[in-house]
Amino acid sequence: MKTANYTLENANEFIRQKEKDVITTYSPGYHLTAPVGWINDPNGFVYYEGEYHLFYQYYPYKTVWGPMHWGHAKSKDLVTWENLPVALSPDQYYDEGGCFSGSAIEKDGKLYLMYTGHLPQSDEEQSRQIQCMAVSEDGIHFEKINQNPVLDEKDLPDNARVQDFRDPKVFERNGVYYSIIASQTKELTGQILLYQSTDLIEWEFKSILLEGTKDQGIMWECPDLFELDGKDVLITSPIQIPKSGNEFHNVSSCVAFIGKVDWEKGTFEVESMEEIDHGLDFYAPQTTIDEQGRRVMVAWMQMWGRNMPTHTENHGWVGAMTLPRELRIKDGKLIQLPISEIANYYQKSAEIKEVVLVDETKEFEGVAGKVGVLELIVDLKEATRFRIELRASATERTLLTYHTETNELEFDRFQSGIPISGEEAEPLNKRKVLCSLDEGKLKLKILLDNSSIETFVNDGKETITSTIYPLSDESEKIYLEATGKVRIDSLDMYDIDML
C-alpha cells in the first residue's frame, strides 16, 4: 500500500523547481550539502562500483526537519559531489513517518539500503520504529523489498523500548551479514543491538552488543562498528550525555568506544571511550571502507536544538556534511585526518617560514579568506598564549586560542556573526579541548568553508568542528597574535579551487 503525498517524483520535481532560489551566502564551497531544503545525518555511506555514494536524511520541502527522505550524491574523490535523484521517500505504510537513518552494503553487484521506518502516533507511547530494506541494480533507483519490515518489535530483547529502535548499520564479516541498531532501554539508557543474517532479508537477534550506563546518555543514535589498526571501534551518538570537564557540552554528543568484540557472545569489551569532536556542530558520524582500505568518516556539521541561521534568514537550505576524514588508531586513540584528496584542490596563497612574534598581532599577505585551508606549525615554548583570529573584520571575528598554562585549545564564536542559541547551558559559543604540545609545538590544519571551520590539531589527535555565520562580507581577514614569544616554524595558506 502506498501513501500518496511524499513520492520520489514530487520530491525531485520540487528540487528541480526550487534549487535555483537558494541563497548561497553561507553555502559551502567544498562540503556536501543538499540542492535545497533540510539535511541531517549522513546515511548509506559506501564505496560502490568505483565511486563513493553518500545518502542523507533529507526534507526537501522546508528548511526544518520533516518527514524524512534519503537525499543522494556520489563522488569520485570525496570532494566534488554530483547530486543524484532522491533515493527514498516515505511512501509506504511502514515508513510513513519518515525513512530514518541507515546504511548501505553491496551484495552480488546490487546496492542494498537498510533504514528505519518511523511510525509516529499522536500518543507517543504508541509510536514504533522498524527496520526495512531497499535494493538497487544501478545504485540510483531503489525498490523497497516486499518482505518489509525485516525487523520489528518481535525482534527486540525484553529490555528494549519499541519506540526507539533505529539507525541500522549493516556490514559483512566472514560471510555473515550483521546489523547493529540503536535502541533505548526501558530504564531510558542507550544500547546497541546486534542482528545477523545470511541474505540481508531474514534477520535474527543475536545479542546486546553494548548497554550504556545512566551517565552515558538517554539514547544512543547512529551506531557504527569497524576494525581499525588491530582494535574494534564502536561509534555512537548519545543524547544528553552529561557534561564532564571539556567533554560532552552539546545537547547530543558523539563517542568512540575502543576495544574488542567477542563475536561468539556478540559483546563489546570497552577499553576506552572518547568524545570524537570537540566543536559545536558535529553529529551522527558514519564510516565506510574504500578500495584503498581507508576507513573514512563523515558527519552532519550541525547540532540539534539550535536556531539555524540559514533557516531563519530564509536562505532555502540547512545543513552540510563535514569533509570526509580518514580514521586511524594510534596509541589507543582515534586519529582523524581530512581526506588527502583535498590537497588536489589547493592553490597556494601564502608560505611563511621561521617568523617570530613577540607580544604582537600580525597580518600576513595572502593569509585570509572565507574558503581555504590554513596549515601551521608554531613553537610555543616561550609563549603563554597563541591566538588566531579567523574570519575577522572590524565587527566580527572567530577565535582559536591556545593557552600554554592549561594546554587547552579554545574555539570561540561569540563574535562570529549571527548569534546561535540552543538548548544547552551557556557558554554556547565556546568549546575547549585539552591537547598537549609535541616538543613545545602546536600543529594546526584549519579548513574554512564560508559557514564552517574544522580544525585538526596535532596530526588529527583532536578536532573542533563548528559553524559560523558572519554578517559582514568583509569578515575574511586572519590575524596571528602572540602573548610571549611565538615562533612560526611554517605557515601555508591555500585557496580551494573547485575548477
* Interface mask toward ligand FRU for 266-305; x: CB under 6 A: -----------------xx---------------------
Q: Which of 11, 15, 68, 378 binds ligand FRU (CB under 6 A)?
A: 68
101 sits near ligand FRU (criterion: CB under 6 A): yes
Min dist CB 311 to ligand FRU, Å, is 16
Residues whose CB is less than 8 angstroms from the CB of residue 129 and which lie 6 or more positions away in sequence, other chains included: 100, 116, 117, 118, 119, 162, 163, 164, 165, 166
Residue 321 corresponds to which amino acid? M
163 sits near ligand FRU (criterion: CB under 6 A): no
57 sits near ligand FRU (criterion: CB under 6 A): yes
CB of 448 within 8 A of CB of 373?
A: yes
Count, residues near ligand FRU per rule CB under 6 A? 13
Q: Which of 167, 232, 412, 476 binds ligand FRU (CB under 6 A)?
A: 167
DSSP notation for 180-204? EEEEEETTS-EEEEEEEESSSSS-E
CB of 86 within 8 A of CB of 12?
A: yes
**In this complex, which beta carbon is closest to ligand FRU, that of residue 70 or of residue 402?**
70
**In this complex, which beta carbon is closest to ligand FRU, that of residue 101 or of residue 466?**
101
Min dist CB 182 to ligand FRU, Å, is 6
Min dist CB 101 to ligand FRU, Å, is 3
CA distance linking residue 276 with residue 479, whole number of Å:
28
Min dist CB 164 to ligand FRU, Å, is 8
Residues with a catalytic annotation lie at 41
CA distance linking residue 31 with residue 120, whole number of Å:
32
**In this complex, which beta carbon is closest to ligand FRU, that of residue 203 or of residue 282?**
282
**In this complex, which beta carbon is closest to ligand FRU, that of residue 280 or of residue 342?**
280
Residues 30-49 that bind ligand FRU (CB under 6 A): 40-41
Q: Which of 89, 116, 148, 183 binds ligand FRU (CB under 6 A)?
A: 116
Residues 411-450 that bind ligand FRU (CB under 6 A): none
**In this complex, which beta carbon is closest to ligand FRU, that of residue 119 or of residue 435?**
119
Min dist CB 40 to ligand FRU, Å, is 5
Min dist CB 163 to ligand FRU, Å, is 12
Q: Which of 128, 166, 413, 445 binds ligand FRU (CB under 6 A)?
A: 166
| Lateral strand order in the sheet of 325-330 | 283-289, 295-300, 325-330, 333-338
Query: How far is CA 277 from each of CA 94, 232, 361, 372, 433, rounded to the nearest angstrom?
Result: 35, 19, 29, 21, 9
Residue 286 corresponds to which amino acid? Q
**In this complex, which beta carbon is closest to ligand FRU, that of residue 73 or of residue 284?**
284
Q: Which of 91, 152, 211, 221 binds ligand FRU (CB under 6 A)?
A: 221
Residues whose CB is less than 8 angstroms from the CB of residue 29 and which lie 6 or more positions away in sequence, other chains included: 371, 449, 450, 496, 498
**In this complex, which beta carbon is closest to ligand FRU, that of residue 305 or of residue 440?**
305
224 sits near ligand FRU (criterion: CB under 6 A): no
Min dist CB 5 to ligand FRU, Å, is 18
Min dist CB 239 to ligand FRU, Å, is 8
CA distance linking residue 230 with residue 246, whole number of Å:
28
**In this complex, which beta carbon is closest to ligand FRU, that of residue 238 or of residue 470?**
238
- 365 backbone dihedrals φ, ψ, rounded to 5°: -60, 135
Please provide the distance, in angstroms rounded to a whole number, between the alpha carbons at the two ends of the chain.
Answer: 46
**In this complex, which beta carbon is closest to ligand FRU, that of residue 69 or of residue 431?**
69
CB neighbour class for 441 (10 Å; exposed up to 12, middle 13-18, buried from 19)? middle
Task: Provide the H-helix boundaries in 141-243.
Answer: none
Min dist CB 54 to ligand FRU, Å, is 15
Q: Which of 130, 181, 222, 378 binds ligand FRU (CB under 6 A)?
A: 222
| Torsion from C-alpha of 276, 278, 284, 288, nearest 10 degrees | -40
CA distance linking residue 325 with residue 306, whole number of Å:
25
Residues 339-398 that bind ligand FRU (CB under 6 A): none
Report the candidate in 204, 192, 169, 214 with the shortest Cα–Cα distance to residue 259.
192
- CA 430 and chain centroid, separation: 19
* Binding stretches for ligand FRU (CB under 6 A): 40-41, 57, 68, 100-101, 116, 166-167, 221-222, 283-284
